[in-house]
C-alpha cells in the first residue's frame, strides 16, 4: 500500500519535478520506473534481442515444397520428412527427403531428374488448407475474422462445436496459448479422430522444428453438443464458436456458460440458416444481440509482365494466362498431406533457374484474377447480455 501511495503521490503532484508537469500519467510513470533492458540504446536503434536463426530441417517435420509455374500460382504440397523417403510423382522419384533434411527453410533444392523446388516450413494457414479433411474446414480468411469477433486472448477458455477437421481448433489453440483452453465437441467419431490426428501431427512437427512447444491445450470431446448441458454446468467460457448444422440446437445448451458480455460466433453457409438462428433466438428469448453478419471476401489480383520471352503482344500473353489460370484451379485442390506424397502435374522449370529468361519489355497485366474464392460462409456475431429484471 505504501508503495502505491508513494507512486500515486509522485504521479499526482506533491513536489513534482519540472518535467512532470507537461507529461501524461503514463509517461511520468515510465520515467519513475527503472529503465527497461535495452532502453539506453540510442533512439532509432531496434530494441531487444533479435530472433534466433531457424534450425535446419529434421526428420519428422513438415516441409512445404513449392514449384513455381509460369504465370500461375506456385504448386504446393506438404510432406513429412523421413530419412530414406522421397517425394514422388507419376513417372518416377523426384525429391529425396534426405536432400531436404539438414537444410535451412527457404532453400532451393534440386530434383532428381531436373528442376528445382523451394522448401520451407508451412504456416498454420497452409497446413490448415492442405491437411486431410473429413468435414469442410472453416477457411483461414474467415477464421481470422472470427478470432477478432471473439476477441480471444492468451489464457482464455473457448468452447467450439463441431471440431470437423480441426482447422479452427488449431487457430484457437494458438490464440489462447499455453495458459488457455479450447474445448471442442464433435458428434461424429471419424471427424473427431481426424481433428485429433491433424492437431497431433501439427504439434509433433512443430516440436521438432521449433525451439518451443506448441501448447497441448485442446480437449477434443466426442459428444453431441446439444446433450452436453450437464458438462456445461461447471464451465465458464470467455467465448463460444459454433460451426455445425443447426447451431440453434446448441445455443440453448451452451449460453448459460458464456460469460456475460461474451461473444458467440456462428459459421453458416446459407443465409436461410442465419435467419433460422436469429428466429430461434427471438422466439426462445435467448439473451443474445446480433451485432453483425458478415461475409469475408478476398479479391485476388493478377500482376504479371504482359509480354513474355519473345515479345508476344500483351493481348497474346493475357489470353494464354487466362487459360492457364483456369487449368491451375484443378491442380491445387487435389493436393493433400500424406507421409508419402504425390506431387501432381509438376512443372518445376519455371524459376529458381540460373539461366533466367530475358523479358524484353515491362508492361504488366494488372487486374483482378478471373478465378476468385467466392462465398464460403456467413459469420454471425452474437453478444450475450443480461436482460433487465433478471
Ligand X SMILES: C[S@@+](CC[C@H](N)C(=O)[O-])C[C@H]1O[C@@H](n2cnc3c(N)ncnc32)[C@H](O)[C@@H]1O
Contacting positions for ligand X (CB under 6 A)? 135-138, 161-162, 164-168, 185-188, 191, 224-226, 243-245
Classify burial at 189, counting beta carbons within 10 Å of its beta carbon; exposed 0-12, middle 13-18, buried 19 or more.
Answer: exposed
Q: How far is the CB of 187 from ligand X (least distance, A)?
A: 4
Instruction: Provide the 3-class DSSP secondary structure of residue 96.
Output: strand
Report the C-alpha gap between 77 and 23 in whole angstroms.
55
- State the cell numbers at 64: 512445404
User: CB-based contacts of 129: which residues, under 8 Å, 6+ apart?
Assistant: 137, 140
Query: Residues with Cβ < 8 Å from 209, sequence gap 6 or more?
Result: 54, 55, 57, 58, 61, 62, 121
Pick from 148, 177, 143: which is nearest to 160 by CA?
Answer: 143
Q: How far is the CB of 181 from ligand X (least distance, A)?
A: 17
Here the cell at position 156 is: 482464455
Closest CB to ligand X among residues 85, 335: 335
Residue 276 to residue 248: CA distance in whole angstroms: 8
Q: Closer to ligand X by CB, 57 or 202: give it.
A: 202
Q: Is 90 exposed, middle or buried (0-12, 13-18, 19+ CB in 10 A)?
A: exposed
Our CB check for ligand X shows the closer of 79 and 168 to be: 168
Decide whether 180 or 247 has the Cβ nearer to ligand X: 247
Q: How far is the CB of 219 from ligand X (least distance, A)?
A: 14
Taking the least distance from each CB to ligand X, the nearer of 244 and 382 is: 244
| CA–CA separation, 146 and 163 (whole Å) | 15
- CA neighbor of 191 nearest in space, from 170, 221, 146: 221
For the CB of residue 135, give the shortest distance to ligand X in the complex, in Å: 4
Distance CA 105, CA 103 (A): 7
Angle between the N-to-C axes of helices 140-150 and 167-176, in degrees from 0 to 180, rounded to the nearest 10: 40
Q: Closer CB to ligand X, residue 71 or residue 157?
A: 157
CB of 186 to ligand X, least distance (A): 5
CB of 182 vs ligand X, minimal distance in Å: 12
Q: How many CB atoms lie within 10 A of CB 254?
A: 23
Count of beta carbons in the 10 Å neighbourhood of residue 260: 10
| Residue whose Cβ sits closest to ligand X | 164
Name the residue among 132, 121, 103, 284 with its Cα closest to residue 195. 132
* Closer CB to ligand X, 120 or 133, in the complex: 133
Q: State the nearest-atom distance from the C-beta of 92 to ligand X, in Å.
A: 35
| H-helix or E-strand spanning residue 79 | strand 72-80
Position of cell 531487444? Answer: 48
> Nearer to ligand X by C-beta: 104 or 245?
245
The CB-of-279 to ligand X minimum distance in angstroms stands at 19
Considering beta carbons, is residue 65 or 382 the nearer one to ligand X? 382
In the bound complex, what is the minimum distance in angstroms from residue 386's beta carbon to ligand X? Answer: 27
Q: Nearer Cβ to ligand X, position 101 or 337?
A: 337
Min separation Cβ 112 and ligand X, Å:
36
Evaluate whether 121 touches 76 at the Cβ level (below 8 Å): no
Amino acid at each position: 500500500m505504501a508503495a502505491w501511495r508513494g507512486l500515486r503521490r509522485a504521479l499526482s503532484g506533491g513536489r513534482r519535478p519540472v518535467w512532470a508537469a507537461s507529461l501524461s500519467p503514463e509517461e511520468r510513470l515510465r520515467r519513475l520506473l527503472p529503465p527497461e533492458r535495452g532502453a539506453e540504446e540510442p533512439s532509432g536503434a531496434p530494441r531487444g534481442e533479435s530472433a534466433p536463426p531457424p534450425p535446419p530441417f529434421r526428420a519428422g517435420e513438415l516441409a512445404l515444397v513449392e514449384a513455381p509455374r509460369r504465370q500461375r500460382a506456385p504448386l504446393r504440397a506438404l510432406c513429412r520428412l523421413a530419412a530414406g523417403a522421397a517425394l514422388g510423382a507419376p513417372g518416377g522419384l523426384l525429391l529425396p527427403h534426405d536432400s531436404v533434411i539438414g537444410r535451412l527453410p527457404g532453400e532451393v533444392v534440386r530434383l532428381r531428374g531436373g528442376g528445382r523446388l523451394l522448401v520451407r516450413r508451412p504456416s498454420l494457414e497452409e497446413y490448415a488448407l492442405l491437411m486431410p479433411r473429413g468435414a469442410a474446414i472453416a477457411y483461414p480468411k474467415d477464421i481470422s475474422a472470427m478470432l477478432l469477433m471473439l476477441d480471444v486472448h492468451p489464457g482464455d477458455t473457448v468452447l467450439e462445436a463441431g471440431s470437423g477437421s480441426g482447422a479452427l481448433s488449431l487457430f484457437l489453440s494458438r490464440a489462447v496459448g499455453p495458459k488457455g483452453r479450447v474445448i471442442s465437441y464433435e458428434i461424429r467419431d471419424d471427424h473427431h479422430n481426424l481433428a485429433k490426428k491433424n492437431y497431433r501431427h501439427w504439434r509433433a512437427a512443430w516440436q521438432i522444428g521449433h525451439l518451443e512447444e506448441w501448447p497441448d491445450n485442446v480437449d477434443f470431446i466426442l459428444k453431441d453438443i446439444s446433450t452436453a448441458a450437464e458438462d456445461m454446468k461447471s464451465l465458464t467460457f470467455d467465448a463460444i464458436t459454433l460451426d455445425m448444422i443447426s447451431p440453434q440446437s446448441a445455443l440453448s445448451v451452451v449460453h448459460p456458460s458464456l460469460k456475460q458480455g461474451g461473444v458467440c460466433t456462428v459459421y453458416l453457409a446459407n443465409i436461410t440458416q442465419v435467419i433460422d438462428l436469429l428466429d430461434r433466438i427471438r422466439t426462445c428469448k435467448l439473451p443474445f444481440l446480433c451485432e453483425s453478419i458478415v461475409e469475408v471476401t478476398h479479391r485476388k489480383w493478377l500482376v504479371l509482365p504482359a509480354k513474355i520471352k519473345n515479345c508476344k503482344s500483351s493481348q497474346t500473353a493475357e489470353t494464354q494466362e487466362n487459360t492457364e489460370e483456369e487449368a491451375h484451379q484443378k491442380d491445387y485442390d487435389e493436393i493433400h498431406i500424406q507421409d508419402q506424397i504425390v506431387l501432381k502435374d509438376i512443372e518445376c522449370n519455371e524459376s529458381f533457374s540460373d539461366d533466367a529468361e530475358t523479358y524484353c519489355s515491362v508492361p504488366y497485366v494488372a487486374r483482378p484474377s478471373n478465378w476468385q474464392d467466392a462465398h464460403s460462409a456467413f459469420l454471425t456475431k452474437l453478444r450475450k447480455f443480461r436482460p433487465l429484471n433478471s
